[in-house]
Structures are given as C-alpha cells and as structure tokens.
C-alpha cells in the first residue's frame, strides 16, 4: 500500500525546484557564503535535498538525514537566515510550479523552516525578576 503524495508534484519537478533554488542561494550575498562553507559538491547536495523533499512530499523514504542536527552542527546558520531562504524558495516555487502546487509546497517549507529556526534560536533563561 502506498501513501498518496501531500500534493501533486513529480520527482522531476522537485529536482528542478531544488536546482533553481540553489542557483539563487549561491548568488545570495548572505546565504551564499553560509552554504559555501559546507557544500563542496553541489550536485550531491542538491540530490540529497531533492531526496528530503521527495520524502516529505511523495513519502518516498529515500532520505535518512537529520536536518535539525545538520543546521545546528553547521555553526554559521542563524534563525534570520530562514526568512531569506523562504523568500527565495517561494519565488522559485512560483516560477516553476502551478500556483496551487507552489502554495502547498510553500506552506510545508514554511512549517519546516519555522521549526528549524526555532531550534536554532538561543535558549533564554528565566527572566531576571530582581
């Protein structure tokens, strides 16, 4: 028994979105250096991220990474980066996909981005009541 996808998108469309998105990221003055510090093999990175999205959308079960751990271990990823990331991602989705599919994928990306951003936020102690 297979699980239906979250929304209609093909594996090829996922790969196209991922490739277009990372072309934008590499040129971004803020995100480009963050990624350049960690990604030496862009085709391999894009394939890994395409597997992540195929898992999240198509339930393909071909991705076995831990995005939260990867972003935390990077050491140079900040919560503010996710607003930039999501802005670029939304623009690429709108360029590459139908409006309904782009909106569905965007909503999922924003949920994931929000979770990662919260996970990277500094933990604050109790308020100083003195």
For 60-69, how does the pLDDT look when each residue is reduced to its tens digit (9 = 90+)?
Answer: 988 888 888 7
Rounded to whole angstroms, the Cα distance separating 115 from 130 reads 33
What mean pLDDT is reported for the chain? 90
User: How high is the pLDDT of residue 103?
Assistant: 98
Percent over 90 (pLDDT), the chain: 68
pTM confidence score: 0.87
Rounded to whole angstroms, the Cα distance separating 88 from 84 reads 6
Q: Is 41 exposed, middle or buried (0-12, 13-18, 19+ CB in 10 A)?
A: exposed
Q: Which residue has the higher pLDDT, 1 or 84?
A: 84
Domain boundaries along the sequence of the chain:
11-120
**pLDDT band at residue 127 under the 50/70/90 scheme:** low
CATH fold, domain 11-120, is Globin-like (1.10.490)
């Amino acid at each position: 028994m297979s699980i239906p996808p979250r929304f209609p998108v093909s594996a090829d469309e996922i790969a196209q979105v991922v490739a277009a998105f990372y072309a934008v990221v590499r040129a971004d003055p803020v995100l480009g250096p963050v990624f350049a510090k960690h990604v030496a093999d862009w085709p391999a990175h894009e394939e890994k991220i395409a597997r992540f999205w195929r898992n999240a959308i198509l339930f393909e079960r071909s991705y076995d990474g831990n995005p939260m751990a990867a972003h935390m271990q990077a050491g140079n990823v900040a919560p503010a980066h996710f607003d930039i990331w999501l802005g670029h991602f939304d623009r690429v989705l709108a360029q590459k996909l139908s409006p309904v599919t782009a909106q569905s994928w965007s909503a999922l990306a924003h949920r994931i981005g929000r979770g990662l951003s919260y996970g990277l936020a500094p933990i604050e102690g109790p308020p100083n009541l003195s």
